[in-house]
Amino acid sequence: MAQRIVIKRKQANKGDDGYKIISVRMKEELVERLEELSSMTNRSRNELINVLLESAVEITDVED
């Protein structure tokens, strides 16, 4: 009897999850506020930054 051939699924490459890594400079005071929110909400800074940016983009209007 022939042996079975097993092929494992390929894992998604870095960046294939729909996210991009960026670097942002922030004032220490803002980072401290994010840390406070993080501990109060039990969410990571990354998650909070994404939630806050998505909300800000939704309520932003551009004027000439």
- pLDDT score, position 51: 93
Q: Indicate whether 41 belongs to any domain.
A: yes
- pLDDT score, position 19: 84
- Count of domains for the chain: 1
Q: Residue 9: what residue type?
A: R
Q: Indicate whether 51 belongs to any domain.
A: yes
Q: Indicate whether 3 belongs to any domain.
A: no
Residue among 21, 47, 19 nearest 34 (CA): 47
Q: Residue 27: what residue type?
A: K
Q: Indicate whether 16 belongs to any domain.
A: no
Query: Is 38 within 8 Å of 44 (Cβ atoms)?
Result: yes
Question: In angstroms, rounded to a whole number, what is the distance separating the alpha carbons of residues 49 and 22?
Answer: 12
For the segment 6-59, what is each residue's pLDDT rounded down to a tens digit?
777 777 676 677 888 899 999 999 999 999 999 999 999 999 999 999 999 989
Question: In angstroms, rounded to a whole number, what is the distance separating the alpha carbons of residues 17 and 38?
Answer: 23
Domain span at residue 43 reads 28-58
Q: Indicate whether 52 belongs to any domain.
A: yes
- pLDDT score, position 12: 65
